Amino acid sequence: MFRKSVYPKIEPRLNEIAKKLHTRGITPHQLTLAGLALSFLAGCVYATGLFFMGAVVLLIACLGDMLDGPLARVGKTASTFGAFFDSTLDRYSDFFVFGGLVLFFARQNQGLWLLVSLGILAGSFITSYAKARAEALIGRCPVGVFERSERIGFLVLGSLVWPLMPLCLWILLIGTNGTAIQRILYVWKESPSPSPSEFSAE
């Protein structure tokens, strides 16, 4: 949703920043690794309960995540491995950030929110895995309204406006796992039916 509605509006500005970074010798991989490091830092901050500061660090990390693609295109270094590397490290970033939430609620002995956070963490991984596996099996998986940008957006919103945090956590839980289920159902519908010979006895 974010990629289709918001990203095209800010893409020209991101390209301008990417050109400046390219002239300074910054590489896409450096930005990707910097985003990973900042996500780890954000997770540590979330674990201490400093949610506002965690959101600020996370937003900076996301800026790097949005710029590595344009930087690769500007520098003509876009590659299959680069896309794979970026996507893989995004999963680590998700673990660091939402793992920080899990650790915070565990330390506070808040069982309900601990379970909700674990559900969000699981949903974020299953959502991404379901898409990757679907694309490997049937070539495409264009469904899913709750992707990484939406996950980060709602977490940042709840962190900056604390009274909204409980609502945002429930939205994250339902949104991540709902998207995973949406993709499972899509693959189920789009998968070719097995031929009768596959069920025949040897």
The answer, yes or no, to whether residue 199 has pLDDT greater than 50, is: no
Phi-psi label, residue 27: left if phi above 0, alpha if psi -120 to 50, beta otherwise: beta
At 6, the pLDDT band (50, 70, 90 cuts) reads: confident
Q: Cα dist. 88→112, 131, 155, 174, 180 in Å?
A: 30, 13, 21, 23, 18
Q: What crossing angle do the helices spanning 111-138 and 148-160 adopt, rounded to 10°?
A: 160
pLDDT of 179 > 70? The answer is yes
Which pLDDT tens digit goes with each residue over 96-153? Answer: 999 999 999 999 999 999 999 999 999 999 999 999 999 999 999 999 889 898 999 9
Domains of the chain: total: 1
Query: Which is the catalytic residue, given 65, 68, 86, 90?
Result: 90
- Answer whether residue 200 shows pLDDT above 60: no
For residue 55, being part of any structural domain is answered with yes
pLDDT at 144: 87
Does this model's pTM top 0.85?
Answer: yes
Pick from 145, 130, 148, 147: nearest CA to 187: 130
**CATH number of the domain residue 145 falls in:** 1.20.120.1760
Instruction: Provide the pLDDT confidence category of residue 202 given band limits of 50, 70 and 90.
Output: very low
On the question of pLDDT at 95 being above 50, the answer is: yes
Please provide residue 151's backbone torsions phi and psi, each rounded to the nearest 5 degrees: -60, -50
pLDDT attached to residue 154: 96
Mean pLDDT, the chain, rounded, equals 90
* Inside any domain, residue 175: yes
Whether residue 50 is contained in a domain is answered as yes
Whether 94 is catalytic is no
Q: Helices 7-23 and 51-74 sit at what angle, rounded to 10 degrees?
A: 70
Average pLDDT over residues 60-87: 90
At 195 the pLDDT is: 54
Instruction: Provide the domain limits for residue 140.
Output: 7-187
Strand segments, DSSP code E, in the chain are none
Q: What confidence tens digit (pLDDT) does each residue in 29-48 have?
A: 999 999 999 999 999 999 99
Residue predicted with more confidence, 174 or 193: 174
* Residue at 58 is within a domain: yes
Q: Is residue 1 assigned to a domain?
A: no
- Of 106, 122, 104, 110, the C-alpha closest to 159 is 104
Q: How many residues does the chain have?
A: 202
- Domain assignment present for residue 196? The answer is no
Q: What is the pLDDT of residue 20?
A: 92
Q: Are 36 and 144 in contact (CB under 8 A)?
A: no
- Identity of the residue numbered 30: Q
